Chain A
Amino acid sequence: MQHALDLARPYAPLILALVVWPIVGAALSWWLWWDTPEHWEAYAKAHPGRALAIRALRTVSPHLRKLVVAWRDYAAARSSLPPLGVALPAEKTGAIVVSETRPVAHPTPADGVAFDAQRVALGAVTVDPAKGDGQRGSVDLPGLLTCLIAAILAGALLAGCPVVREVAMRAAPGVPDPVDCRPGVQRCDGLAPVVCSASGREWPSLPRSASGEPRTCAPGVCVVSDGGVAHCALAADGGGL
């Protein structure tokens, strides 16, 4: 396992970028999806900063929901339209779906005749822009549940995978690097008692101060007892380091 980790170590950024981030980004993108352009525009107007962050997230994340919508529209067009009528309505349906991502491109009820005519022309296969079909939802329940399930699965996958744990530990500042130590053995690292873990890391037994500085035995010393326990002692006690 250690050999495999050593091999994988140079690729940790790639693993994070190509595996971890796409999963997390896709889940978030799925979740942050508004039902209608109106909802989205109202939200963006009320929270321009959040809207910017969400757009930025969508830009750099896989957008699986668009794929699902496209596939559903494709399947609906193929299954429910008469052969000769497929081409035009299907194109228009697709055009509306696409236009919904562009706030100025589609008609609104205020446009009156054009809006109604478009709905009539498209008939049963037309997606009603006002009701939406999963486009830009205001955090709908199925989407949320899907996101939660995906997050739980991803979390369980990540937490249960030794390689992911190891990568996380190596990336985290403050987590000791692996050294050549025997699990369970304690020793003094200068003025700090340390304990060797199963992964070969020497963890200090004294915590950090609130500012992040490591605590030490000073003004005392660090000693190892006959029982093999490393600990602080008063300077007068002496003891072998």
Chain B
Amino acid sequence: MSAIPVDLALRIIRRRADAAGVELILPGDPRRDAIVSLVALGHSVQGTGVTRAHVAEGVTVTLPGVPGPAAVLLAAIPYVGGALAALAQAAGRTSVCLSPAALATGEGALATWWHEEGHCGSIARGGLIYCGAYLLAPEVRAGGEAPCYGNGMAVRVATGSDVDDAARQALASLESYGLDDDARALARGIVASAAETIRATGDHGGVVAELRAELAAEGWVL
């Protein structure tokens, strides 16, 4: 199976972002600098050991759109407030900010995109209140992240990865979300379910069918 070109993957991602009404932020965009600063600050405050360099290179973030008054308050945050407010005022739309690492390969970019689509769906359903619960409760992070990692696993398997390897990588990545034992057990259960679904169907709730259709529209067959 030949590698999917990154530019082809990006065309698919842009198309799907437009269709979903999602603002796409790519590396090099000044708004990403503001997001990286904010995420790095969060890690620093929590003492997770994750460095700013790691965040800048490897962390993809999905942020909710923010209503007007909240964006006004965001603008008052020193250093990064202006950029955050500009980001938040992007028509109040959810934003997906892709990392350089996510765009290293076409397969990786697509896996990351479908992962983030899951978050876009959660935000579309739950809005800012859901995001608040996500920040407060490890269980919400586990229940929100693990199914999205299932999406990424499905794309990786469809593009040539082994399902067990993909599951192991997903579980390793889930360790960086500050989960407690109960939340970790929930995440493991969801990843196990996702792995079984991918083994049994080659899909994950229609994600791979969407991937194949998008690639076919670009003249690419898996």
Minimum CB–CB distance for B102 against chain A, Å = 17
Cβ-based interface call for B78 (8 A):
yes
Minimum CB–CB distance for B79 against chain A, Å = 11
Nearest CB in chain A to that of B129: its residue:
A172
Chain B residues whose CB sits within 8 angstroms of the CB of A175 once the complex forms: 126, 130, 133, 140, 143
Interface residues on B, range: 35 or more
Q: Are B78 and A210 in contact (CB under 8 A)?
A: no
Q: How far is the CA of A198 from the CA of B184 in the complex (A)?
A: 10
1/0 contact string of B69-113 vs chain A (CB within 8 Å): 100110110100000000000000000000000000000000000
Q: A184-B189, A205-B197, A229-B193 are in contact. Are A174 and B69 (CB under 8 A)?
A: no
Q: Are B193 and A207 in contact (CB under 8 A)?
A: no
17 A-B pairs with CB atoms under 8 Å apart are A165-B133, A168-B140, A172-B140, A175-B130, A175-B140, A197-B143, A198-B183, A201-B143, A203-B147, A205-B189, A209-B206, A212-B124, A212-B125, A229-B189, A229-B193, A230-B193, A232-B205
Q: A169-B140, A197-B182 are in contact. Are A144 and B133 (CB under 8 A)?
A: no
For window 125-170 of A, CB contacts with B under 8 Å fall at: 139, 144, 152, 158-159, 164-165, 168-169
Cβ-based interface call for A32 (8 A):
yes
Q: Are A198 and B139 in contact (CB under 8 A)?
A: yes
Q: Are B129 and A144 in contact (CB under 8 A)?
A: no
Q: Are A198 and B201 in contact (CB under 8 A)?
A: no
Nearest CB in chain B to that of A193: its residue:
B193
